Every structure is written in C-alpha cells, then in structure tokens.
Amino acid sequence: MARIDHRDPRNAHGAWFVDTRCIDCGTCRELIPELFASVGDQSVVRVQPSGAEGEHRAWLAAEACPTRSIGRAPRSSRPPGLYPLAVDGPVHDLGYTSEASFGATSYLVVRPDGNLMIDAPRFTRLLASPLDDLGGVAHVLLTHRDDVADAPAWAERYGARVWIHEADGSAAPGATDLLEGDEPTVVASGVVAIPVPGHTRGSVAFAVDDTWLFSGDSLAWSHRSQDLIAFRDACWYSWAEQTRSLARLAEVTSFSWVLPGHGARIRLEPDDAHRRLVRLVERMKAAA
C-alpha cells in the first residue's frame, strides 16, 4: 500500500500520488502515459485523473506497481476485475508486476490447447482466481533470466510446463523444458520460441500465431521516439549479439504486436513492423 507520509512533493496536486519507494521501473508510465511521468529518479502523477474512466486507469497503474507505491488519499475501494486486462483478442496484461523482475509486464494468451503465461507476475489470489476461471496455465514461457519472478508458484498451481533458454536456465532451476542453441523452436501449435541473445545470453522472443511477438527486454516501443527501440544501457550480454539476433528475428518471423516486458507495447501493420525492425537494426549497427 502506498505511503502517504512518503508522498513525493513533485506529484500533481490532488488525490493520487506516487511515494518515494518508487524504483523508477517505468511500468505506470508505459501503461498509463497520460497520467504518469518521470522526474529523473522516479515516476510521479503528472496529471490527476478525471472522471470514472480516469480513476479506473489510475487503479490499473496502482495494481501493476511492483512496490505498491501508487496510492490515493483519501483512500477509496479498489474496483473489481482490474486484471487480467484484455489487450487484443486472446492476449491479456496480467498486471501485478514483481519487484524481483523490476516491474516487468507479463502476459496471458488464452488458447484452446492450453493457455500461455509469458514471464511471471507476483503470485496473488487476486490474479489466481480469474486465471482459474480462464482455464489456468499450460505453459510458462520465460523470455530471459531477469523476469522469472513467481514463475515457480504459478507453474506449481497449474502443473504447467516451464520453458527457458539453457543459457539462462540457472534462473529457473525447476524448468521442465530448456531451449537450446540459436534456432527457432516450436513450443506448441502456432507458438515459436526465437532465441535473441543480447540483453542476456539466453534471451528469447515468443511469436504466437504470426501476430503477437512477446519480446522480453530485447525489443519495445518508445512513446517518446514513436518507434521501435532496444535498450543499449540495459544490454547485459552483448550489443553486437543483440544487433545480429534482431536482424535474424526480422528474417524468420512476421508480427503485428510488440509486447515487451519493459517499454511500451504497440500494434503495427506487419509490413510496417518489419520495416521498423530493419531500420532499428541499421541504427544499432551505426551506433556500435
């Protein structure tokens, strides 16, 4: 719960605030950019929400915050049914991000042959109950070692298979399936794991039905630049490898949606997505 006694004075005047325990993960800014902004060392409320829809969106950010740093004074009751949040078709944002994954977004894809959880949120009954209603989870797909969070608890609850690349396998010692090498691997019908080493050695993107690309921390949309980006300042393994792997990603898959762990998500026309990814690789090469 947010601490009113730690309210950051840089918040806009009004009921909603971010306290100084914020870790500056950017989750609220990417999710609700019209209400939250960075002040250099953390996020703050830049504009107070207006009306019922604005209040609802502020609650979405509050429930997603990994440190529970977003609050309201005076307090009001949490609205029901915030998460899972429908994004597109069978894809849902799971909210409830974990401090262990620095606020990374995780997703659920509802599928007739078994639901997919991409990376893992905090384990909480507030999310477990609606996931039960949606049919649970058959596969937990981990994009890389940083965003494992509470994956073991979710896998245990649903008896799910857990997939991670062997190069990052030490972060998920209970994984049932280790991806190997740099070639794409079919995980399930319409679901392909594509290794994209760079951010970490074992980073993987998961392409679902040639439409939704779950990119972990390897690829994202930037509200500021209005384009696809990669995080050079958060490249823990090799920028050169990440450049090569994203070039290969452009060759082996087609997608409309980019759904990252960190950074903003975006829907593009497939040809535009491909062009933007190719141009990003060219910029990365030029900056090497």
Q: Whole-angstrom Cα distance, residue 10 to residue 8?
A: 5
Q: What is the pLDDT at residue 105? A: 98
- Please tell me what DSSP assigns to residue 40: S
Pull the structure tokens for residue 76. Answer: 């009001």
pLDDT of residue 179: 98
pLDDT single digits (tens) 96-149: 999 999 999 999 999 999 999 999 999 999 999 999 999 999 999 999 999 999
- pLDDT at 165 (0 to 100): 98
- Amino acid identity, position 118: I
- As a residue count, the chain comes to 288
pLDDT at residue number 288? 75
In the predicted model, residues of the chain with pLDDT beneath 50 are none
Spell out the domain ranges in the chain: 4-72, 85-286
Q: What is the pLDDT of residue 82?
A: 97
The DSSP element (H or E) to which 282 belongs, if any, is: helix 270-286
Q: CATH 3.30.70.20: does it fit domain 4-72?
A: yes
Q: What is the pLDDT of residues 167-189, one digit of tens each?
A: 999 999 999 999 999 999 999 99
- Domain 85-286 homologous superfamily, CATH: Ribonuclease Z/Hydroxyacylglutathione hydrolase-like (3.60.15.10)
Domains 4-72 and 85-286 share a fold: no
Query: Nearest-CA neighbor of 228 among 171, 282, 154?
Result: 282
